[in-house]
Amino acid sequence: WRRSLKCRHKLSPSIAKSPHLYLLPQLSLNPTQPAMSNDESRLKWYEGITKYQWLVLLIASLGWVFDVFEGQIFVASMTDAMPALLTPEPGMEPAKSEVSKWNNIALGFFLLGGAVGGVFFGALSDRIGRSKTMIYTILFYSLFTCLSAFAQAPWQMVLLRFLVAMGVGGEWAVA
């Protein structure tokens, strides 16, 4: 798409030489001039994309896959995990309303953590860069997902879900 439109404005020399100048749209402000030539109209959508851009796409896609996988693990296991945390003694069943209440609290804190993580890691990426921040967010949510297995009380699971969501929300902000 970037080759299909022509640009009439000039870039400053420092921006034009930047290695991070990826896909600037090339706009035509002249309605009498065609937007693309015959050669440009035959290009495939993926032509002109660099190896680095493919790598970034792959890493971001894997991050999303693991985010979704992590979320589905909790949803699939919350019918077992939360009752186990609420059971005072082996063999006893906690009230379904109590299990539902704590599951809803955990999901609510997950949503809140995503928002907090997006703001926190978004600001961090402005300081240290998106690549480093992406690594930190993936490590952050992976660490707290692992620690969720060691929760001994419902409030610990809620806190860990909040921290997991901070990493996930941060990843969404910098991806």
Measured torsion, CA atoms of residues 83, 85, 88, 94, in degrees rounded to the nearest 10: -20
Cα 118 to Cα 174: distance, rounded to the nearest angstrom: 8
pLDDT of 22: 47
Q: Which amino acid is at 12?
A: S
pLDDT of 37: 57
pLDDT of 41: 64
The pLDDT tens digits for 100-130 are: 999 999 999 999 999 999 999 999 999 999 9
